[in-house]
Structure 1
Amino acid sequence: MAEAMTAPPDPCAGAPQRLRAPPHDWHLRRWGAGPQALLIHGAGGDSSGWHPLARHLPGLHAIAPDLPGQGGTRAGAPRYSLDQMATDLAALLQHQGWAPRLLIGHSAGAAIALRLSQLLPDPPRGIIGINAALSPFQGVAGWLFPRLARAMTLSPFASHAIARMARAPERSARLIRSTGSAPDPSMVARYNALLSNPGHVAATLRMMAAWRLEPLLDTLPTIPTPVLLIAAARDRAVPPQVSQNAASRLPQGQYAELPALGHLAHEEDPAPIAHMIDAFDQSLD
């Protein structure tokens, strides 16, 4: 008796995919059908963090790559700065013939989205930032954190030590709670797997060491694209005032606030964010 044929997995159902687009071997996920939206995660995350929100955006073809060295993307070159990552994402889009209508970024991913919009020959119709990291570290942290990250990247053992410490799920849960978010078991398991991966940790540290926001911040008043910055009132990682200030400097900036969520708001409760994105998207026509 012949075996029943099984259909191949739907490439737009969030299943992991690999694409080679120099200089990196990209790992990404896609959901839905319709106009394209590029989803860019923040430092230390990966594309799987977009799954809760993407399921609430059925009218969009959501494309979520892992940043170089993070998640499943294999970095083909040490390109971890804001400009380099935006440039390499632009190359990925060109390689695939993708022209997203929307760029959606979380935390540092929002900064990358804004910079990417300046590089694309066919700019997006709109940009959405969720708890956008659009402020440099202040005071002692501004001096210490980048130097600490650079020092740790010089040690081949630093990322392994951090990954070993993160293997206890409770440590991952505490880290998530420290950002103002309330983690469920699936969120804890996902971040625990990421933080236990030395390669992922090393790439995140390199990204932090190379992070320079000031050139982008100086150009905010020149970005013509409509931008919606969504902030969560309980975010302890990036205060809502950061998004409010940035929106006021953007020619077509809008600000919206969620009253009861933290830094990982799009994973905690994606429905209200999806509603904001849908309303913003409709306003662009």
Structure 2
Amino acid sequence: MDWQRDLPTWPHHAWSKRVVCAPHRWHVQEHGEGPTLLFLHGAGASTHSWNAMMTDLAEDHHVVAIDLPGHGFTVMGANNRSGLETMAEDIAALCTQENWQPTKIAAHSAGAAIALQLCEQHLTTHGKPSILAINPAFSDFDGLAGILFPIIAKSLAVNPLTPWLFTRGPDALARAQRLIASTGSTIPAEQLALYARLLKNRRHVQGALFMMAQWSLRDFKHCMSRSQTPIEIIVGLNDRAVPPETTANLQKTMPNSNLTKLADLGHLAHEEAPDLFVSRVRSMG
């Protein structure tokens, strides 16, 4: 996304700033006073995913949202640092540099895995934050798909023509509608329009592909089973991206965790019912 062209019409652009913390040039949105609440979006999204929640929670929290490497307005400084461990390392470095000491993390999908890795391996000096994990992606694809998907994504990511092929054509809104519908969610029109803008941006598409290509949770089950991080897991029963039953089975292996199931909400549950999740954040210890 172009800072000069796109940022002035992006949600909460007045809270935005660029932060250089090696190896990336980050897009950060920061506002409010109180306990620090860090937002981590999932693959293919950006800070806009937390738009409505941030508006309310900035009234009594110091809210911090970032675009993951290669996503939205964050410019990657290294293409090989889009995996789970490396992103957690780089976000930890950013937190240290900016003197952020999160007491709570709200995280969605793949962002929830990053949040847990961050808490278990890095954010230990001032006590572990509590995590609100929304439809967390805590497992790799099963079987042959788990082998082939990263290979295909890697091949697409390194092909310079791929972002052009993904973003060509005038009807980005229709593509966004199909993509969001496939997750089981129905989101407001203004949110849908923002996803359409992201889908038209070649650098964002390539950043999402790099993340998918490098994504592996092979060693993550060990992290989950030994975790002492307080984590509240919320699944939307209409989620078509991450099967709710898979998440429910994994939650049983996680100490210090709770699971809540919500009917009639899909993968982007926090964009469908932001008020509900604002209340959940405020009730977190």
Contact 2:28–2:65 under 8 Å retained in 1: yes
- Partner in structure 2 of residue 9 of structure 1: none
State the match for 1:253 in structure 2: 257
For residues 223 and 148 of structure 1, what CA distance do their matches in structure 2 show? 32
The equivalent residue for 2:49 is 49
Question: Any idea what the Cα deviations from partners look like across 1:231-256, whole Å, max 9, x if unmatched?
Answer: 11101001112332232111101001
Preserved contact between residue 172 and residue 197 of structure 2 (Cα < 8 Å): no
Q: Say if 1:225 and 1:252, in contact at 8 Å, map to a contact too.
A: yes
Q: Is the 8 A contact 1:227 1:247 kept in 2?
A: no
> 2:229 matched to 1:225?
yes
1:105 is matched with: 107
Give the secondary-structure state (helix, strand or coil) at the position aligned to 2:63. strand
Percent identical residues? 39
Instruction: Report the Cα offset of residue 14 of structure 1.
Output: 6.0
* Separation of aligned partners in 1, 2:170 and 2:240: 20
The answer (yes or no) to whether the contact 1:29–1:48 under 8 Å persists in 2 is: no
**Which whole-Å CA distance do the structure 2 matches of 1:165 and 1:205 have between them?**
19
Unaligned runs of at least 5 residues, structure 2: 1-11
Given candidates 149, 154, 158, the residue that maps to 1:145 is: 149
Is the counterpart of residue 74 in structure 1 residue 45 in structure 2? Answer: no
After superposition, the CA RMSD in angstroms is: 1.6
Aligned with 1:249: secondary structure? coil
Deviation sequence 1:198-251 (CA, Å, 0-9, x none): 100001101101001121122212111111011111010011123322321111
Q: In 1, Cα distance between the equivalents of 2:275 and 2:170?
A: 30
Partner of 2:131: 127
* Structure 2 SS opposite 1:18: strand
- Report if the CA contact (8 A) 1:107-1:131 is conserved: yes
For the residues of structure 2 that align with 1:125 and 1:42, how far apart are their CA atoms?
Answer: 19
* CA positional deviation for 1:125: 3.1
TM-score scaled to structure 2, two decimals?
Answer: 0.90
In 1, Cα distance between the equivalents of 2:116 and 2:170? 31
Aligned mate of 1:238, from 237, 242, 245: 242
Q: Helix, strand or coil: the match of 1:274?
A: helix
How many Å apart are 1:144 and its aligned residue?
Answer: 2.4
8 Å contact 1:228–1:247 — kept in the other structure?
Answer: no
Does the 8 A contact of 2:172 with 2:199 survive in 1? no
Separation in 2 of the partners of 1:70 and 1:135? 22
| Alpha-carbon contact 2:103-2:129 (below 8 Å) kept | yes
Please tell me whether the aligned partners of residues 232 and 240 of structure 1 are also in contact (alpha carbons under 8 angstroms).
yes
The answer to whether the 8 Å contact 1:34/1:59 transfers is: yes
Please report how far the alpha carbon of residue 275 of structure 1 lies from its aligned counterpart in structure 2 after TM superposition: 1.6
Equivalent pairs counted in the alignment come to 270
Partners of 1:238 and 1:248 lie apart in 2 by: 16
Q: Which has the larger radius of gyration?
A: 1
Instruction: Tell me the equivalent position of 1:115.
Output: 117
CA 1:195–1:184: 2 relative to 1, 3 Å:
same
Shift in alpha-carbon separation, 1:52–1:14, aligned structure 2, 3 A:
farther
Deviation of 1:170 (Å) = 1.0
Report runs of 4+ in structure 1 exceeding 4 Å deviation.
none
Quick one: distance in 2 between partners of 1:274 and 1:243?
22
Please tell me whether residue 272 in structure 1 is matched to residue 276 in structure 2: yes
Secondary structure (helix, strand or coil) at the match of 1:162 reads helix
